[in-house]
Amino acid sequence: MRRETILNVGIPGLLLAIGLLAYALDETYIITLATRAAILALAGVGLNIALGLGGLVSLGHAAFFGIGGYAMGILAFHAQTYMPLWGVIGGTTSMPIIWLVAVIASGLAALVIGALSLRTSGVYFIMITLAFGQMLFYFAISWPAYGGEDGVSIYMRNNFPGLNTLVPLNFFLICFAVLAVVLIFAGRLGKSPFGLALQATRQNVARVEAVGLAPYKLRLMAFVLSGAITGLAGALFADLNRFVSPSMLSWQMSGEIMVLVILGGIARLSGPVAGAMVFIALEYVLEDLSHYWHIYLGAILLLVVLFARGGLVGLIAGREVAHD
Amino acid sequence: MTDAILSTRSLSKSFGALQASDSVSLDLRAGEIHALIGPNGAGKSTLIAQISGALRPDSGSVIFDGQDVTPLPTVARARLGLGRTFQISALAMEFTVLQNAVLGALGQRGRAFRVLGKVMRDKALLESAESALQEVGLSEFRNTVTAELSHGQRRQLEVAVALTLKPKVFLMDEPMAGLGAEGSQRLTGFLDGLRHRAPILLVEHDMDAVFALADRISVLVYGRIIATGTADEIRANAEVRQAYLGEEDAA
């Protein structure tokens, strides 16, 4: 087996092991941290489709993360207040339905944002995605129906058929299972016809056009898939915190997702998982040392960008072998 | 010309005061190699860009396979069967040689939006890609990362990718550039046979190759075609000698 294949199984495996070990040792807080890592990893896997495979540097992925979060917040809010949305839709506390709504809503948002942003490239693309993200952020702040700046609190975690989601381990396992399924999908995506064409657009647009494939459509589809997955992560994140607020839509959130992808390895399947685990671990360890733990995170990020371009996964697995 | 597969009609394009294409009309017939020559700055690249769809002409039209393709973008023209190679190799450098060829085969087949199924295990795509690599003599480098190929090998891969497109017309922008004598000769031999699969519009600086290959030659000077004819006719044309060949002799 290739090193990368081992890592693709091993890194998520390690996350699962940490969660289970924490359960065995009755360390509830660690389970919560592992859950957070799984969810942020999922958001990163989403971003990595646009960023890694497509070379699309989106600084607006918090928009999709937040839309997923608000999809959960709004549906659960209407369920807990027994006030139907627009007088007809009753809200729900069922996770699968919430996920579906989150995926569709964030996917549609990605379709609109992508359709406009992808007409530009380079630094303009970065700026436009950032601008869309900020637009949604300020919209959420000034939208009084769902708490405005204060956000929405949900009293009970939403339900999953057959599982008590209030048990931390159960919710961790749900999040991990979603991550695993999406990882398998993303892995297959990279090796699919679409994956090949998308990766070609990252390397040479003229070549893709010359073989008769439309780069814009390929990128748009990548952007929609990417946004939808990040939106799904957002719904889980809101469920973990039982709270959604405009901070999920902030550009710092976009940055955080991007940082963990870079940390773990851009375009590497398990990169975001490794990145999220290290990110959460650093946050946990360094926050004790200093309130300004981001300084250390910044230094580490600098080292990774300067000396390990493939991120942590690249450091261990070496250059990606492409002939597969 | 009714049997022309590709023709341009009075194409004109200017950049500010520079007239890069001045009412250029030429046609490419079935089974022929039509070479386009001209000194540097004559507007060859501009003309190729208008034919391939990268540039919109100011006036005039491009007719391909009986259809006016002037308003169509590059992608649509490629899908109609215009297979081009680039003057400066345009390949996916991180891909292996085989992946680049498979990309071509995928473009030819379409259905590139399938997210499941392994593209590098797709028998039909692999077959098309492998046979194209075989034809240009790159089979043994199939697993080499493209960035590690020599300049000449990249030129070969350009041609291989064009082959996977199974185009109706080849549009080749200086395929011999930087190939060296031996590589140039090999490619000349290869293109000689290729014209029977699809006609070739060949932009080339290598005069030995042009005169050995071309059924017809058009000479472009300052955006205008000053002569079109067989190799012998072009050699004998006084205006061409003065404007182009003469300069080269003097150089």
Q: Domains of chain B by range and CATH? A: 1-81+167-251 (3.40.50.300), 91-165 (no CATH)
pLDDT the model gives residue B235: 87
Report helix, strand or coil for A153: strand
* Residue with the larger pLDDT of the pair A319 and B83: B83
pLDDT the model gives residue A322: 47
Which of A79, A68, A70, A84 minimizes the C-alpha distance to A155? Answer: A79
CB-closest option in A185, A207, A209 to B92:
A207
Highest mean pLDDT among A14-18, A298-302, B88-92, B190-194: A14-18
pLDDT the model gives residue A323: 43
* B114, two tokens: 């399938």
The verdict on a CB contact (< 8 Å) between B106 and A197 is yes
The verdict on a CB contact (< 8 Å) between A196 and B102 is yes
CB-closest option in A192, A203, A213 to B107:
A213
A204 touches chain B (CB under 8 A): yes
Q: Contact at 8 Å (CB) between A290 and B63?
A: no
* ipTM score over 0.85, yes or no: yes
For B18, phi then psi, to 5°, come to: -85, 120
CA distances B73 to B49, B62, B68, B82, B201, Å, are 11, 12, 12, 12, 19
A207 touches chain B (CB under 8 A): yes
- Do strands B59-64 and B67-68 pair parallel, antiparallel, or not at all (unpaired)? antiparallel
pLDDT the model gives residue A298: 86
- Quick: pLDDT tens for B99-149: 999 999 999 998 899 998 999 999 999 999 999 999 999 999 999 999 999
Residue spans of alpha helices (H) in A88-157: 95-117, 123-141
Our CA-based measurement puts residue B201 at a distance from the nearest CA of chain A, in whole angstroms, of: 16
Q: Contact at 8 Å (CB) between A53 and A190?
A: yes
C-alpha B165: how far from chain center: 13
DSSP for A179-191, please give it: HHHHHHHHHHHHH
A221 touches chain B (CB under 8 A): yes
pLDDT below 50 — which residues of chain A? 322-324
B227 vs B233: CA distance, rounded Å = 9
Question: How many C-beta neighbours within 10 Å does residue A322 have?
Answer: 16
Chain B contact probe: residue of A181, A196, A320 with most B CBs at under 10 A? A196
Residue at token pair 């999809």: A71
